Amino acid sequence: MIAEDQQVLSRILWTDEATFHSNGEVNCHNSHYWSKTNPHWMQEIQHQGRWSVNCWAGILGGQIIGPFFFNRLTGANYLQFLIEELPILLEEVPLEIRRQLLFQHDGCPAHFAVNVRQFLDANYPSRWIGRGSIFPWPARSPDLTCMDFYLWGRVKDIVFTTRPTTRNNMIQRIRDCMQIISVAELEAAVGSTRERMLRCIENDGRQFEHLGRH
């Protein structure tokens, strides 16, 4: 696809979910991300009880789509999100880009639900990437998407610069953070996806040398 269209990576809506915990940990489906933390404030918040925020976001070219926050990710509420919320999040994307974009997500159970796949087949015919698609996304491959190798770690570094106070405070910090990340930074992250794919192919799908976040 890249050989046929050098801009195809910027037409993919890369998406993912991550859970931000009050103790400074961010959990994705296949990996954990850790940022530099101050052990003093880490200890300070432990007695308050652990809480978390479940966040969905996407990258399309040089633009962040979202974020959107789930109480719990299931096939039913993910389908509801695709039907009701995603079109609103995409409203500022030019219509011509929306008509051509490819939707990408990983193969977690909520994404693989039958009704989710039926919706994607109907609304993104031959234009979605994931388990069950004609373009299946490889399992256990978080380092291939700009969401996992770049965005979640970048957001975490900013959000946890100081101690979050409440769940709502963390949600607002995530929103604010995603507003300040530059277009150039996002475009560079999307562009580096090609290098990671080539490295994966060279190693027959096995692990390859860590390339860094940027």
pLDDT digits (tens, 9 = 90+) for 22-40: 877 676 654 433 333 343 3
- The pLDDT score that the predictor gives to residue 142 is 62
143-176 burial string, b = 16+ CB within 10 Å, else e? bbbbbbbbbbbbbbeebbeeebeeeeebbebbee
The overall average pLDDT reported for the chain is 84
Domains defined along the chain, listed by start: 8-202 (3.30.420.10)
**What does pTM read for this prediction?**
0.83
pLDDT digits (tens, 9 = 90+) for 150-209: 999 999 999 998 888 899 999 999 999 999 999 999 999 999 988 888 888 888 777 766
